[in-house]
Amino acid sequence: MSQAQAEIRLPTQELRDDLPFYTQKLGMRLESIFPADNPSVAVLSGHGLRIRIEKGATEAPGTLRILTDTPGDFADGATELTAPNGTKVEIAPLTPAIVMPTTEHAFVVRRLRDEAPWIIGRAGMHYRDLIPSRLGGSIIASHIRIPDGGPVPDMVHYHTVGFQLIYCYKGWVDVLYEDQGDEMLRLHAGDCVIQPPEIRHRVCHASPDIEVIEIGVPAEHITTIDHEMALPNGQGDPAREWQGQTFVHHIKDQATWQPFRVPGFVCRDTGIAKGTKGVAGIQVVRYDGGIALQTAHDTDIHFTFVLEGSMTLQSVDHQDRKLKAGDAFVIPPGMAVSYANCSDDLELLEASLPGVFNTEIRD
């Protein structure tokens, strides 16, 4: 098989002015230069890049981004430079840091019948945004579906994220996870997992009616393809921690129902508060009868998705909202609400960050 190389061409007015900058300042290596008597072209390589600096080239000078985890040791600590030929150089972190925006608290209701658009996203999946404001960038909650099911054209990847939940809402989906054994993990409706920060994984196959709820914190985070790792990668270390979080696989059929923080409801605790060491908590909540009581919480982010049934969300400061399966809402801290007119089959998915918080019963 023949070999091939790629290079980026940059213009120059005078090559002798640029060479010291690229070789000494940026630490690139000179590969070739010609013609010998009056050089007008030089090819350099370094930092995973190959560039061709050519006198008379018509391209714009452009911008180079050099990524390093030790920026203080590079280019005398400068973060922005300009080469003699006009090319701008940015020095940026190789490992992106997670930036957690301050939550912009708001009361949010998102209803399925409002016909919010489905957007085609990564690997052909359809996304519906459940929190349009994203609370100032602190969280994204998506309703995701794969219309036809079948094999998913996904690659091994990971997310630079603070917290991420995958809840199987309908159907089933097969996923491979790093260090979780040689078997495919199948999520059935009602099951969920947390994907600890930077755990490698790949979505493999899905039923035709698959729908999942995905929650990510913060809202904007980087997805990186890992071209080196193959999954499954053996038994590995199922108890491993990724930035303090363990992989949690909650199975609906093995769950135990227990009293919920609000009287009149029961819940199954997913174990996610423990697995994240309190970063987040996930509960599946079921109506258990009784009169609706008014309550308020003190957690930073409180998101709920209606899985089944119907209810009326009541608050003194807002009009009543009749909700049914597919609807979602966010209750800001300190706002008193009640879940009224609950159908017997009402079931909710509740997510809170942090995972442990206080609830005040106002009635």
Identify whether residues 237 and 259 lie together within a single domain.
Answer: no
Q: Are 87 and 10 in contact (CB under 8 A)?
A: yes
Cα(346)–Cα(342) distance, integer angstroms: 6
Domain contains 2: no
| pLDDT score recorded for residue 122 | 65
Q: What is the CATH number of the domain that holds 29?
A: 3.10.180.10
Residue whose C-alpha is closest to residue 245's, from 189, 285, 184, 193: 193
Domain contains 97: no
Identify whether residues 122 and 239 lie together within a single domain.
Answer: yes
Cα(157)–Cα(227) distance, integer angstroms: 8
Banded model confidence at residue 61, pLDDT cuts 50, 70, 90: very high
Q: Which residues contact 324 (CB under 8 A, 6 or more apart)?
A: 112, 306, 309, 310
Domain contains 67: yes
Domain contains 102: no
| pLDDT score recorded for residue 147 | 81
Identify whether residues 220 and 137 lie together within a single domain.
Answer: yes
**Of 245, 266, 292, which one is at a domain's C-terminal end?**
245
For the segment 175-224, what is each residue's pLDDT rounded down to a tens digit?
A: 999 999 998 999 999 999 999 999 999 999 999 989 999 999 999 999 99
Identify whether residues 201 and 292 lie together within a single domain.
Answer: no
Identify whether residues 211 and 145 lie together within a single domain.
Answer: yes
**Of 184, 214, 245, which one is at a domain's C-terminal end?**
245
Identify whether residues 199 and 309 lie together within a single domain.
Answer: no
Query: What letter represents residue 42's amino acid?
Result: A
Domain contains 103: no
Per the structure, the complete domain to which residue 319 belongs is given by 254-361
Identify whether residues 208 and 302 lie together within a single domain.
Answer: no
CA angle 109, 113, 116 (to 5 degrees): 75
Helices (H), the chain: 15-20, 272-275
**Of 245, 263, 282, which one is at a domain's C-terminal end?**
245
Return contacts of 67-70, CB within 8 angstroms, 24+ apart.
67/92, 67/93, 67/94, 68/92, 68/93, 68/94, 69/93, 69/94, 69/95
Identify whether residues 126 and 230 lie together within a single domain.
Answer: yes
pTM above 0.75, yes or no: yes
Q: Are 270 and 283 in contact (CB under 8 A)?
A: yes
Could you tell me which residues are beta bridge partners of residue 33?
42
Cα(344)–Cα(223) distance, integer angstroms: 40
| Number of domains comprising the chain | 3
Identify whether residues 197 and 164 lie together within a single domain.
Answer: yes
| pLDDT score recorded for residue 114 | 78
Region of residue 183 (phi > 0: left; psi between -120 and 50: alpha; otherwise: beta): beta
Identify whether residues 263 and 240 lie together within a single domain.
Answer: no
Query: What letter represents residue 45's amino acid?
Result: S
Cα(294)–Cα(283) distance, integer angstroms: 19
| pLDDT score recorded for residue 230 | 94
Domain contains 264: yes
Arithmetic mean of pLDDT over the chain = 94
Identify whether residues 279 and 230 lie together within a single domain.
Answer: no
Peptide bond into 232 cis (omega under 30): yes
For the segment 223-272, what is each residue's pLDDT rounded down to a tens digit?
A: 999 999 999 998 889 889 999 999 999 999 999 999 999 999 999 999 99
Q: Are 164 and 214 in contact (CB under 8 A)?
A: yes
Identify whether residues 317 and 290 lie together within a single domain.
Answer: yes
Average pLDDT over residues 278-290: 96
Q: Which residues contact 173 (CB under 8 A, 6 or more apart)?
A: 186, 187, 203, 205, 206, 207, 210, 212
CA angle 144, 146, 152 (to 5 degrees): 115
Q: Are 9 and 55 in contact (CB under 8 A)?
A: no
Domain contains 12: yes
